[in-house]
Amino acid sequence: MARAGRRPGQTESRQRILVAARGLFGRKGYDGATIRAIAADAGVNPALVHHFFGTKEQVFIAALNIPVNPASLVPRIVDGPREEVGQRIVRLILEVWRNPETRQAFLALLRSVTSHDAAVRMLRQFVERAMLERLADALDVPRLRLSTAAAQVIGLALVRFVIGVDPLATADEEDIVELVAPVIQYYIDGGWPVS
Amino acid sequence: MARAGRRPGQTESRQRILVAARGLFGRKGYDGATIRAIAADAGVNPALVHHFFGTKEQVFIAALNIPVNPASLVPRIVDGPREEVGQRIVRLILEVWRNPETRQAFLALLRSVTSHDAAVRMLRQFVERAMLERLADALDVPRLRLSTAAAQVIGLALVRFVIGVDPLATADEEDIVELVAPVIQYYIDGGWPVS
């Protein structure tokens, strides 16, 4: 919607887009919100949203302060020997959560998810589109197995870094990789390692 | 501390004990708080705390509105064939979380854990004492393996019941048991099933 008065500066436009995006993702979910609608709510041209952020996914990441970009994580999981996918996933989650700033941002997300239904819905759709669908396609793994593997690494992060239950909270990363990687590999491969 | 004036009624005393307990567990943690100190803060006799609640564990459960009593869950996991422990644990977590009231109470706990360091500390100590130590002793399983198994079922509950990621959110309980029970059994037994 066009507004009267002077044209807003870049910083102001960017801020207005982020505020509009948070509102719209909350009301419509990730799937229901469009760049066009976000632009309209912010009173700017859709081209400006693309110019600042690129895709809807990137608008979401900026608006919700998502600490990592899933698009950049997927290749780190997919690239490399198939029989080491489990290892790469466990190493990646430990590395991402080890960073205190990332951890704080994830905690803020977890708080909003346990407090607001709207936050749950938009985050769920985002996780499905940006992470699970891409991985399921790239690895050719049934979704149920992939989401259960996700449950394992999310629970691992929660117990190690948030609740801090010992000895998982203080264990060596290598010991955790050794213990958990075969489980993720089992979910991905659909069977136990032959040994 | 004795107070002047009329003696409080039962309901009032009970309430004062719960308020004092929440404060004390928050400040001192689960391990640091004692029934004696809780009674002093509530201005009642320690015997009255025992009379109303029994053990410190039960005071904690009542004060924090913990939706299940770990002491009653442990035998349901331990009793029965050893090779079906994994199955029993997965069935139990699905059953407990299936109940909407229990789920709401767990969500409230998760919210407080992601918001307050004091909540994290007291809940962590409680989980360790009331659940993990008992299970580790009863099943003779190393703690690291047990806490990683706990991470799997906590993550499962979070992804299925809170975030609601499909297809895990809508999958049949039996399919989930079939998929996840071998993983829990692997953590408990320390090796893959021979098949």
Q: What is the pLDDT of residues B11-66, one digit of tens each?
A: 899 999 999 999 999 888 889 999 999 999 999 999 999 999 999 999 999 998 88
Instruction: Please say if the pLDDT value at position B1 is more than 80.
Output: no
Q: How far is CA B101 from CA A25, B17, B106, in A?
A: 28, 24, 9
A178 to chain B, any CB pair closer than 8 A? The answer is: no
By percentage, how much of chain B surpasses pLDDT 90?
61
Contact (CB<8Å) A151/B148: no
A171: left (phi over 0), alpha (psi -120 to 50) or beta: beta
Residues of chain A below pLDDT 50: 1, 195
Which has the closest alpha carbon to A171: B151, B5, B176? Answer: B151
B179 contact residues in A (CB cutoff 8 A): 144-145, 148, 187
How much of chain B exceeds pLDDT 70, in percent?
94
Cβ separation of A163 and B123 shorter than 8 Å? yes
- The pLDDT value given to residue A50: 95
Task: Tell whether B87 lies on the interface with A, counting CB pairs under 8 A.
Answer: no
**What residue has token string 């400006």?**
A48
Q: 3-state DSSP call for residue B2?
A: coil
The percent of residues above 70 in pLDDT, for chain A, comes to: 94
Q: Which of B111, B168, B186 has the CB atom closest to A114's CB atom? A: B111
Q: pTM of the full predicted structure? A: 0.86
Distance from CA of B190 to the nearest CA of A (A): 9
pLDDT tens for A48-98 read: 999 999 999 999 999 988 888 888 899 999 999 999 999 999 999 999 999
Q: For chain B, list the strands marked E by DSSP.
A: none
Taking contacts as CB-CB distances below 8 angstroms, the residues of chain B near A132 are 165
ipTM over 0.90: no
A95 CB within 8 Å of a chain B CB = no
- State residue A113's pLDDT score: 78
Helix then strand count (H, E) for chain B reads 11, 0
Question: Rounded to an integer, what distance in angstroms lies between the CA atom of residue B133 and that of residue B10?
Answer: 34
Asked if the bond preceding A167 is cis, omega within 30° of 0, the reply is yes
* Measured distance between the N- and C-terminal CA atoms of chain B, rounded to whole angstroms: 64
pLDDT in the model for residue B195: 46
**How far B159 CA lies from chain A's nearest CA (Å)?**
6
Q: Is A172 an 8 Å CB contact of chain B?
A: no
